[in-house]
Structure 1
Amino acid sequence: MKYTPPSRDAVDPRVFDRLPLAAWREHAGFLEARDWPSVDALNACRPAGMRERFAAQTRELLADGLHYEQRIADRGVIATRACNWHDLFNALVWLCHPALKRALNARQVAEIARMGTKQRSRAQCALTHFDEAGAVVVLRDPSLLALWDAHDWHGLFWRERAAWLDGRIGVELFGHALLEHALTPEKLLVGKALVVAGPQVLPAEAFQACAQAIADGRVLCDPLELRPLPLAGVPGWHAGNERETFCREAACFRPLRPGRNYPAAMTIGQGASVATDNPVPTL
């Protein structure tokens, strides 16, 4: 079912004080002000070195006949609809993580050149899933991965609840559709995750590792590489997870399908080198 976000004046302002949207307080003015930000205001916040710019999506802009992704690659223009939550969150992700967005765009354009605009490859589906619903998980305690592999949600989110609070595991949202859905606090959010493991890995390093792996074509070659992560189980992300039974009852906590396997996490060691073991996923 297609998600219809609340109008700007109907959003409960309290959603911006709780995760995941609380992590985006740097751009509170764009999110919480009464009026929608202009593309000029968004462009004024671009980080140094970001060549891409936002442009109002108008009939004149679309008259160039370019695919959305090709327009970004060829002209550095990100078509942005006015008064639109989805495109606003997309813009904020560009402002915060331009290298990762650029890596996704380059891979999409390469796939379009190979497949044409009428068909989509498995890689394109994986890239889109991550772009829309992606999450980057920082894993400092590798023992937690076995619980995730088994879809032992009670173990991952309740028995190991402290791990989410003491830094042994953490999650940063990347997908702009997920951020849009978070405007409705009762939504049971599920992310499509890439995992970066290391004893002292920082979120910035994890995002850099993901961007490099995507650019190199080592990840996101198939949607089945992405690990589903029911974000509603993360402490502080949904009021229901304060009850032990939540991870057994809520619809987002699905059992592991027979034969479903996940690739190993990317790892960052002492020298910040990145490795990944990415076998072909199975259903």
Structure 2
Amino acid sequence: MPDIDWQAPWLADWRAVGEPIAQQVAAGCPQPQALNQTPAPVPVRFVPQAHLPEGQAYEDFIFSTGQVPTREGLHDFFNALCWMHFPRAKKRLNQLQASEIARAGVGQVRGPVRDAATVFDENAWLIQPSDALWSALTEHRWSQALVDLRAEWAHTRLWAFGHAALEKAVQPYKSITVHLWRVPQDVAEADLDAWLAQDLTPEKLAAKPFSPLPLLGVPGWWPDNEDPGFYADASVFRPRRRPASAEKPYANSEIRPPA
């Protein structure tokens, strides 16, 4: 497993649980075994990838067995950490995926609910912004959101969720972009997982209420963004051109090859 900078601001909430597990894996412990030793309450067990029968959908296997096939490496490591931090929301996403698979089968093209659930699982970031900040972000008014309203970020809560985004951030680069999901101001952090599990409805997911944000643009998270010119790069901080519902950044990945 590559070295993880546990001092990175996007890993602040995950450090206490994740760093000791990463140390065990680095010392030679098989990843599923190290993950199962965590004291964090988790509604699933992590098993080697070889436990997934050939041809069975990954989400369906998790739903029917309560076991998560886990490969060595960062992608499945961060997926497991998300199960530890958001057990109810992860279980809800799995239920939605399994329900859609049972209804429509696994095809080359996902329906809108499965597509959005995959985007959320892989790439979501939770944010609790003011109305002004959320409006600027969703309308891609980057200078206003990240320069003019910069002081707001000191009290704007952010929570990592998407494990693919975290995998990329181990070796950060400017264009890493996450999909923001808004958390209302009246949701307490202690209630976040329960709130999110209820908020993840098929109807809301199908509408894809995501808003993109280049991760390294978060004020205070990357030295270069202290210069307002950092945000002038239109290849990264893009103007709004089409609704988020038109974005389909992930391929159909529910059937994993046998180990």
Q: TM-score under structure 1 normalisation?
A: 0.78
**1:259-283 Cα deviation digits (max 9, x unpaired):** x3x7xxxxxxxxxxxxxxxxxx689
Q: 1: CA distance between counterparts of 2:122 and 2:56?
A: 21
Q: 2: CA distance between counterparts of 1:106 and 1:20?
A: 27
More helix by share: 2
Q: 1: CA distance between counterparts of 2:246 and 2:84?
A: 35
Q: What residue in structure 2 maps to residue 79 of structure 1?
A: 69
Q: What residue in structure 2 maps to residue 217 of structure 1?
A: 202
Q: What residue in structure 2 maps to residue 44 of structure 1?
A: 37
Q: What residue in structure 1 maps to residue 239 of structure 2?
A: 255
Secondary structure of 1:255 counterpart: coil
The alpha carbon displacement at 1:52 in A equals 1.2
**1:202-223 Cα deviation digits (max 9, x unpaired):** 3343433221121x4342114x
The alpha carbon displacement at 1:196 in A equals 1.4
Q: 2: CA distance between counterparts of 1:128 and 1:182?
A: 19
Decide whether the 8 Å contact of 1:138 with 1:171 is kept in 2: yes
Code of the residue aligned with 1:21 in structure 2: it is: L
Q: What residue in structure 1 maps to residue 49 of structure 2?
A: 57
**1:26-79 Cα deviation digits (max 9, x unpaired):** 12122356335432221121534x331100111xx2336531111111110100
Q: What is the percentage of aligned positions where both structures have the same residue?
A: 33
Residues 32-181 of structure 1 aligned to structure 2 (within 5 Å):
32=23, 34-35=26-27, 37-38=29-30, 39-45=32-38, 47-48=40-41, 50-58=42-50, 61-63=51-53, 65-82=55-72, 84-118=73-107, 119-139=109-129, 141-165=130-154, 167=155, 169-181=156-168
Secondary structure of 1:171 counterpart: strand
Q: 1: CA distance between counterparts of 2:39 and 2:110?
A: 31
The alpha carbon displacement at 1:190 in A equals 1.2
Code of the residue aligned with 1:133 in structure 2: it is: N
Code of the residue aligned with 1:108 in structure 2: it is: Q
Decide whether the 8 Å contact of 1:147 with 1:156 is kept in 2: yes
Unpaired runs of 5+ in structure 1?
Answer: 1-6, 263-280
The number of aligned residues is: 243
Secondary structure of 1:251 counterpart: coil
Q: TM-score under structure 2 normalisation?
A: 0.85
**1:161-206 Cα deviation digits (max 9, x unpaired):** 11111x1x221110001111111123432111210122x5333434
Unpaired runs of 5+ in structure 2?
Answer: 248-259
Q: 2: CA distance between counterparts of 1:155 and 1:63?
A: 50
Decide whether the 8 Å contact of 2:174 with 2:214 is kept in 1: no
